């Protein structure tokens, strides 16, 4: 008599990843140098190709207006600042006008850019200092710019780079900060330290263009919450853990 044997399904053991291959991948990854000159060169080339005409989006017609617009752009979009500045500069055309303006009147003009109490105080203070100590002219050195109320390195770098064509440092705004970290150009998270790292890694003759390009890339492609990696020309060089799509 033939006995019926009941077959019980056997659960297959999870396939083990080949140890050698895994190890090799890890070693290759640990050997990758994000600051290698050839990678930096390739990044700069790709950025320049993607944003050949990248420039400052803040509308201005002289260094003072650029300084004002940059102060207003803190925690605010450039588009919003560009909506506010035409009327502001009509009402207060020169640093002297800003210096003599009652704070409440400046506040009223810039209210929609946010933090308007502090921003009005900074603009009034900067205008007073400018008229009292710099003959009403925006100075062209980092040290002098940093003496103006409300002006820190970011604003000073924007004014020096855009208005005077001087590459004294690298503009580190929210986009440059985020992208520098994603692209492993720095391990720091404080703007001042990120700027120091970028100044070591990026050739000085690229400092001005580099920050404009990165800002454009951060606005259009490498968005904070959901980067558009499948549309990103830097993707082959990017190993960020934030990637939403990857070829490697």
Q: Which is nearer to ligand SF4, 152 or 181 (CB)?
A: 181
Q: How many residues bind ligand SF4 (CB under 6 A)?
A: 14
Distance (Å, whole) CA 143 – CA 206: 22
Contact call for residue 242 and ligand SF4 (CB under 6 A):
yes
Taking CA 188 as the corner, what is the angle to CA 209 and CA 172, rounded to the nearest 5 degrees?
A: 30
Nearer to ligand SF4, 177 or 234 (CB): 234
Interface residue with ligand SF4 among 58, 232, 247, 248 (CB under 6 A) is 232
Which of these ranges, 112-120, 127-135, 194-202, 234-242, lies near ligand SF4 under the rule CB under 6 A? 234-242
Closest distance of CB 227 from ligand SF4, Å:
4
Give the x/- contact pattern for ligand SF4 in 105-124, rule: CB under 6 A. --------------------
Is 45 marked active-site? no
Eight-state DSSP code of residue 200 = H
Reference 120, options 108, 133, 138; nearest CA is 108
Nearer to ligand SF4, 93 or 236 (CB): 236
Q: Compute the CA torsion angle 143, 148, 151, 154 (nearest 10 deg).
A: -20
**Tokens matching residue 113:** 């850019």
Is 166 in the active site? no
C-beta of residue 195 within 8 angstroms of C-beta of residue 214: no
Length of the chain: 248
Q: Considering only residues 150-209, where is the footprint of ligand SF4 by CB under 6 A?
A: 182-183
Distance CA 53, CA 37 (A): 24
Should residue 214 be labelled a site residue for ligand SF4 when binding is judged by CB under 6 A? no
Residue 166's nearest CA partner among 188, 182, 144, 134 is 144
Residue 200 to residue 191: CA distance in whole angstroms: 14
From 29-37, 53-61, 132-140, 232-240, give the range in contact with ligand SF4 by CB under 6 A: 232-240
Tracing tokens 């999870």 back to the chain, one arrives at 14
If one asks whether residue 227 binds ligand SF4 (CB under 6 A), the answer comes out as yes
* Contact predicate 156/141, CB 8 Å: no
> Of residues 6, 17, 154, 200, which has the active-site annotation?
154
Please, what is the minimum distance in Å from the beta carbon of residue 243 to ligand SF4? 5
Nearer to ligand SF4, 43 or 126 (CB): 43
| Residues contributing to the site for ligand SF4 (CB under 6 A) | 182-183, 221-222, 227-229, 232, 234-235, 238, 240, 242-243
Which amino acids are annotated catalytic?
A: 154, 173
């Amino acid at each position: 008599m033939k006995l019926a044997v009941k077959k019980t399904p056997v659960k297959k053991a999870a396939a083990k990843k080949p140890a050698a291959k895994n190890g090799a991948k890890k070693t290759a990854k640990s050997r990758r140098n994000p600051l290698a000159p050839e990678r930096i060169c390739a990044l700069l080339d790709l950025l320049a190709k993607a944003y050949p005409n990248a420039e400052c989006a803040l509308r201005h017609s002289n260094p003072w207006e650029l300084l004002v617009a940059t102060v207003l752009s803190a925690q605010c979009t450039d588009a919003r600042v560009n909506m506010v500045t035409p009327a502001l500069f009509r009402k207060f055309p020169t640093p002297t006008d800003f210096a003599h303006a009652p704070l409440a009147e400046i506040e009223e003009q810039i209210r929609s850019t946010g933090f308007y109490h502090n921003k009005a105080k900074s603009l009034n203070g900067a205008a007073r200092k400018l008229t009292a100590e710099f003959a009403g002219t925006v100075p062209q050195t980092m040290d002098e710019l940093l003496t103006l109320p409300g002006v820190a390195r970011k604003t000073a770098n924007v004014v020096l780079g855009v208005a005077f064509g001087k590459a004294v440092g690298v503009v580190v705004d929210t986009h440059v900060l985020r992208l520098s970290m994603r692209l492993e150009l720095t391990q720091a998270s404080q703007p001042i330290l990120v700027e120091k790292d970028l100044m070591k890694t990026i050739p000085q003759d690229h400092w001005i263009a580099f920050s404009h390009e990165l800002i454009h890339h951060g606005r259009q492609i490498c968005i904070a919450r959901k980067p558009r990696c499948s549309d990103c020309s830097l993707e082959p060089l990017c190993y960020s853990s934030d990637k939403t799509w990857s070829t490697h």
